[in-house]
Chains A and B, each alone.
Chain A
Amino acid sequence: MEKPKHAHPNYVGIFFFLGALTLLELGVAFLPWPKMVLILLLIFLAVWKAVLVALYYMHLRYEPNRLRLLAVAPLPLAVILVVAVTREFRW
């Protein structure tokens, strides 16, 4: 069989990077820093990992723009849901 004309994304490299980010999360979580700093840092790391999975393992990076739009369409709704209900609580 003919060899592929393309190189697959570096799946194993991304895996090691995800593992490293997980270790970093574990290190950060127990630092004696202000709680809000830790929360923001941990959420940033988690979103970074999630984006890597979506872009490379779910191949969103290689999909047509319309499908990418479909994939991210629920996210603004998700943010609205959380923010709206949180505001409700604060009232």
Chain B
Amino acid sequence: MAHATPTLEENMMDPPRGYEEGAGVYNEKLGMWVFLGSEIMFFTALIGSYIILRVAHPEAWKPPGEVLNVPLTAINTFLLICSSVTMVKAFAAIQDGNLAGLKRWLIATVIIGAGFVGVQVFEYIHLVNDGFVPSEGLYGSTFYTMTGFHGFHVTVGVICLMYVTWRAFQGKYSAADHRGVEVVGLYWHFVDLVWIILFTIVYLI
């Protein structure tokens, strides 16, 4: 059935149902943003601890690239940015009522996201083989804690994206109602955003 596709602004402001008037967005999106707020505090605690430990014991850290593989991680950073654009293209596709596009972009996002996790595992294996382990000292323990928690978030994101992809193949989303795609997309972009900060702090500084 032909129907007018809502504008981007209408999609953001006039969600399908479960609309929370006070916040101006639908409940699932509001819930995800509250959750992301708690995630910001979680990663801030990790990053804050890292900064404090690093300032207190600068001698425990090696210069960028001496222990960690910066080129490999730069490629991984690029992968995560790629997965963000495929995710947002999936969202744009279903906003336009393009279910085939949604499926295609979601599959790409899942593959690239899984690729990120795979490269991180590969990096860990090589670092451990080279003797850089969590018990190595402050450098090792903070590195594995921060990147490990982030990797865990990415893994959870990939699992959630697989579920959304499965639902997309069941035809559960449409131009009028695609809350699941948007809410999981928000989580995925947040994970990308955190990595942007972590990459700079852990690998480049």
Binding site for B on A (CB under 8 A): 1-6, 8-9, 11-12, 14-15, 18-19, 22, 25-26, 29-30, 38-39, 42-43, 45-47, 49-50, 53-54, 56-59, 62-64, 66-67, 70-71, 73-75, 77-78, 81-82, 85-86, 89
Shortest CB distance A61–B (Å): 10
Q: Knowing that A46-B200, A58-B186, A66-B22 are A-B contacts, what are 4 other residue pairs whose CB atoms are under 8 Å apart, sorted by A's residue number? A: A11-B89, A56-B88, A81-B48, A82-B48
C-alpha gap A9/B185 in the complex (Å): 16
How far is B186's CA from A81's CA once the two chains are assembled, in angstroms?
25
Q: Cβ of A3 and Cβ of B78 under 8 Å apart?
A: no
Cβ of B40 within 8 Å of any chain A Cβ, yes or no, is yes
Q: Does B196 belong to the interface (CB within 8 Å)?
A: yes
Task: Give 6 closest A-B pairs by Cβ, nearest first.
Answer: A64-B24, A78-B44, A46-B200, A15-B85, A82-B48, A29-B204
Contact partners of B92 in chain A: CB under 8 A: 8, 11
A-B contact pairs, 14 of them (CB 8 A): A4-B7, A4-B95, A6-B8, A8-B92, A11-B88, A15-B84, A18-B81, A29-B205, A46-B201, A47-B197, A53-B192, A53-B193, A82-B44, A85-B49
Kindly list chain A residues whose C-beta atoms are within 8 Å of the C-beta of B33.
67, 70-71
Residues of A within 8 A of B112 (CB): none
Q: Which among A4, A25, A56 has the highest number of chain B CB atoms within 10 Å?
A: A4
Task: Identify which of residues 18-32 in chain B touch chain A, using a CB-to-CB cut-off of 8 Å.
Answer: 22-25, 29-30
- Greatest chain A CB density within 10 A among B22, B87, B175, B204 is at B204
Judge whether A42 and B78 touch: CB under 8 Å: no
Q: Which residue of A lies closest to B39 (CB)?
A: A74
Name the CB-closest residue of B to A11.
B88
Assembly CA distance A81 to B63 (angstroms) = 27
Looking at A3, A53, A85, which has the most chain B CB atoms within 10 Å of its CB?
A: A53
For A43, the chain B residues whose CB sits under 8 A away are 200, 205
Contact partners of B70 in chain A: CB under 8 A: 26, 29
CA distance A54 to B84 in the complex (A): 11
Query: Given the complex, which residues of A lie within 8 Å of B38, measured CB to CB?
Result: 74
B111 in the interface, Cβ–Cβ < 8 Å?
A: no
Could you tell me if A70 and B23 are in contact, using CB atoms closer than 8 angstroms? yes
Query: How many Å lie between the Cα of A75 and that of B47 in the bound state?
Result: 13
Structural contact, A5 and B12, CB atoms closer than 8 A: no
Determine the distance from Cα of A67 to Cα of B32 in the docked complex, in whole angstroms: 11
B74 in the interface (beta carbon within 8 A): yes
Interface residues of B in 58-81 (CB under 8 A from A): 64-65, 70, 74, 77-78, 81
Closest chain-B Cβ to A15's Cβ sits at a distance in Å of 4
